[in-house]
Structure 1
């Protein structure tokens, strides 16, 4: 069995300061500032020995390869100031608003290197010298030393360690209205704009192009819904609809390298959208028994993106990308349907409360990558599943202590959580199998 060493850590510090007025006032406000500083370290080993691409390289250029090492060091800093207000125009109508300004700073240092047998250094030296010859960068370079980065900088025709920075700023905002139509019915509508900061990918890379950052994505969120209680507050019913308008959404996708063909990277999808609806119901059926149900429908699609669908060898034998129209393609990891059904029962018994419950959760199939051909949709499908969990225990009437056993995925359903392609292999990540445990909880007063 091939065993690779993969190690990493994230160290994060954040602090937030808030100032607010009396929450009982008809005009409520809060202002504040936020700071975050994180450091990311990743040290991985990548094994190619069982990949047919290693065999192909042996036959074509006389070089095979075994293992590569990969180091990733990133530093992230976020600075933000914000303010929010709420104003009760009447007992029924409340207006809301907020604004946030953020500065995000990112830096990345990445390298891919030979772990010690010389095969990676030899292979990449051959590739880089071929590149230098084709694009007239001068004479050949000597063998890349073990431990030095082999990733090709196409601008210089030399291997090196990738170093780059990304500094961005954004202004997010929110406007909303709450209307209490009756003492038990709340109607609401909100529109907001938010951002996700740009980032650098964590990948083992043959060229600097794979290390390139994606810029920040933006989202305008429109939502409206209701919250109500019925039958003397024994039933709670919530529902809503939403529409997300994305620009430059960040997704993992393929880029084409002239020598190595399709490789992983991060891309910005210019336009995409998500629309859907959700419904939640909770009911106290009888004394001690609560039944809850929830369902969500999502339609998530690309509106505009010209992405990689393949490659073709050009006149000098290098790979050129073939692009296709991904408009209408489903966004990855967005099942159309998600639902849950749970029941919880509590029964006083001999000075304690006996509690038991079960939850059934399900979701329909989705895709692990952007795909527009039927073959790719079948290959990268993340199958739908229905999972069942259960719990049984006792707790003190005042909730100070509790002991309960639990089981997750108790019928040991086999399912996938992700599917990706690594070189010539499609990898499916299995979900967690059946799990059982015991939890003891005690609250100190």
Structure 2
């Protein structure tokens, strides 16, 4: 990475400047300001964040804008302990909190991190990539939330809360322009009366200039075209009845990011996972460029990458547009009804979201076609929550029912002509595939999930200083799955299987081999018979889960300003299926549910006459049957698989601080430390395994993937008057993420990186308008939050954005 020394100097300077300026503010006898109270709804009712005995990171909408947050994924920049990465180019972001994450790239995989928009769950992360806009606040809840939240998760929750309609007429607009010809426009209008209030908000982000440059030709990638619209209407027919209706729409026709290839020797592996064309021109003695470094290899330049724009089948003559891009739409509706009756509040929350996409991605980081895909997805999610809450003496209580159902249809068209399983087999002398190379695959699956739960939550203030929290949730879930990798229109997969097994498969036939010895259609039972085609069949399975989970917590108010708390909580995440290309039915066997028990103690202290909030927590996780990537041993080789890790442990500590040394200066700091270890796991040994024999190795003692040991963020902001009624503001922030090991896959490891942002703003002290100059990734750090095997052959890295800068102008009539 470049500028390392400069970054370290700048990092130390920023932190030491915060202390120095704060010291000047105090020694100058400046009166300390008081922090505003942060109100959260983490426990389904409004509470001060300082009075809730759980770990929460809360951010206002203004903070999100200042940090340049565009999507849910960007919240990781602000939250130590939260990471977002990917393990393939399939358009599926992977969230982890405190090392608890599921590194599966399948669209159908539910996340360990629950993501909610106005209390409506988005159970599949592919649905969450729309714009974040007109947001009141974001709450990141860390640790299993085993009672109040609808879709079972083990890592925690991220809650996005939108700004709500107002009775007073109010409107606002902001416009930004930055490098790479990027512009953004966001606006809202709100108003009403005592009976009806409405709010409409929109945002668009556009760029007609790519930020990635092809390493082999004059081509750019990275144009943006994404827009979002939300409307909210409140009806207050009586003092006791409230109805809120919401509709939203997101359309995204942006270009996707491409990968950069790196040599596996950098992480102790061979140069590549499998050979591919045109690598032979550089690595084989007969190659025209033998001994030279392939020009598409990474050069530690975040803007350097490569990709494929089109593929023409040599068999059908059909041309496919496979340039990395997406055409995605999310449409949603929600209804929230609240009724105050007999001293209680009955709440009904109904949500429906439909997500459709056609998305092309390039895994392999090259102009060749080792691994590219087009995903066509149709996803529908419905949820209904009904709860009743009240206060009885020293008790606050909530009880409720939850139901959700979703349907997913996924068509995954895969291109692999230049892989070792395709034409790459010829120069590399792999005779098994040279005669009948596999060029295209059609993977299709359907998944239906029904989940129902009953839950309860009690907070008992049994003395002036002690509060007991009890929560429980019982969930029943059923998931039906049916899928197969079919012979594509070119027939190449069928040609290969027919040559190997004497079958007669054609386009549209299932090509997944039944390798279950207990099945009557086991491949070795029917091979050589007229029934051999019966060994290739759609895999169908249903898994059911029913489980209790819950929590018990004790809060102790040491003083009016200091809260000590302890919590034992339990969560689980239900099992699922492998949505990757499949060669055998054993590869598609479901993985089991995972379970996590958390033990956490913490403190929340309001100090220095209300000018400082200091929170700290330490925790220990007993993690059982963690869902994780592994190798699946198949007829065509060792390919993508999923499994459960029997035993793991995580321990860590976190601290965050907000401090106002004066009414002009603010300092924020957040730090997270993690120590993770797999205690028991016999993973597949890819070097010793060959179908149908699977050899395992003991990998106990390794760290979990996506679990950086250290992460922190720090922000300093200072404002001062420059003219009558005008204020100038200068701010800077830094975020650091430690390196990761990649778990059992060294190619998934990442290096540590540090990012700096800076802002200079001018506006009246009323906040009615603001002009802001900003720069993000100020030092132009070349960093990659994700790395993995790029499909079949190369190892690739997915780089973050280079330095961006621009100006934002905003105006709000309500201030």
TM-score > 0.5, shorter chain as reference: yes
Q: CA deviation at 1:101?
A: 0.5
Give runs of aligned pairs for residues 43-122 of structure 1, distance below 5 A. Answer: 43-54=411-422, 55-56=424-425, 59-60=431-432, 62-122=435-495
- 1:342-364 Cα shifts (integer Å, max 9, x gaps): 11234456545544422211111
Alignment equivalent of 1:383, drawn from 748, 751, 763: 751
* Paired residues of 1:101 and 1:170 also in contact (CA < 8 A): yes
Q: What corresponds to 1:33 in structure 2?
A: 401
Partner of 2:554: 177
1:337 aligns with 2:710: yes
Q: Secondary structure at the match of 2:499?
A: helix
- Within the alignment, does 1:217 sit opposite 2:582 as a pair? no
**The one of 696, 699, 711 aligned to 1:326:** 699
Question: Which digits, 9 at most, give the CA deviation of each residue in 1:149-208, with x for residues without a partner?
Answer: 211122323112222211111101100100011121111000011111111122011112
Whole-angstrom distance in 1 between the partners of 2:380 and 2:809: 29
SS at match of 1:362: strand
| Gap regions ≥5 residues in structure 2 | 1-307, 311-321, 323-372, 524-534
| TM-aligned CA deviation for residue 401 of structure 1 | 6.2
1:5 is paired with a residue of what secondary structure? Answer: strand
- When residues 444 and 50 of structure 1 are mapped into structure 2, their CA distance, relative to the original with a 3 A threshold, is farther
For residues 359-389 of structure 1, the C-alpha deviation after alignment (integer angstroms, 9 at most, x for no partner) is 2111111033x32xxxx53x33211111122
Q: Distance in 1 between matches of 2:809 and 2:446?
A: 38
Compute the displacement of 1:261 (Å): 2.4
Q: The residue matched to 1:60 in structure 2 has which SS?
A: helix
- Quote how far apart the aligned CAs of 1:302 are: 0.7
Residue matched to 2:299: none
Kindly indicate which of the two structures has a greater share of residues assigned to strand. Answer: 1
- Do the aligned residues in 1 keep the contact of 2:769 with 2:809 (CA within 8 Å)? no
Which residue number in structure 2 is paired with residue 147 of structure 1?
508
Structure 1 match to 2:673: 297
- More off after superposition, 210-219 vs 384-393: 384-393
Kindly indicate whether the alpha-carbon contact (under 8 Å) linking 2:573 and 2:593 is maintained by their aligned counterparts in 1. Answer: yes
CA contact (8 A) 1:30 1:85 kept: yes
1:165 correspondence with 2:542:
yes
TM-score (norm 1): 0.87
Instruction: Quote the residue 1:15 is aligned against.
Output: 384
Partner of 1:238: 615
Instruction: Determine the C-alpha separation between the residues in 2 that align with 1:91 and 1:269.
Output: 44
Shift of 1:231: 1.3
**Secondary structure, aligned partner of 1:226:** strand
| Other-structure match for 2:576 | 199
Query: Does the 8 A contact of 1:261 with 1:319 survive in 2?
Result: no
Partner of 1:136: none
CA distance in 2, matches of 1:295, 1:313: 42
Distance 1:11 1:351, change over 3 A: farther
User: Which residue pairs with 1:283 in the alignment?
Assistant: 659
- CA, structure 1 residues 396+172, in 2 after alignment: closer, same or farther (shift >3 Å)? farther
2:668, 2:715 within 8 Å by CA — same for their partners in 1?
yes
CA distance, structure 1, for counterparts of residue 771 and residue 571 of structure 2:
42
Deviations 1:384-421 (A, max 9, x none): 11112233445665556656454432333222222222
Partner of 1:365: 739
Does 2:783 align with 1:415? yes
8 Å contact from structure 2 (residues 497, 503) kept in 1: no
What is the TM-score of this pair, normalised by structure 2?
Answer: 0.49
User: What secondary structure does 1:89 align onto?
Assistant: coil
Partner residue, 2:605: 228
Q: Deviations over 1:190-238 (max 9, x none)?
A: 0011111111122011112222211111110000011112211112111
Instruction: Supply the distance in 2 between the matched residues of 1:388 and 1:10 (Cα, whole angstroms).
Output: 38
Question: Highest relative contact order (Cα 8 Å, sep 6+), 1 or 2?
Answer: 2
Alpha-carbon RMSD across the aligned residues, in angstroms, is 2.4
Q: CA deviation at 1:147?
A: 2.1
| Distance 1:284-1:381 versus aligned 2 partners, 3 A rule | same
Number of residue pairs matched?
Answer: 422
Tell me what 1:133 maps to. none
CA contact (8 A) 1:86 1:95 kept: yes
What secondary structure is seen at the aligned counterpart in 2 of 1:17? strand
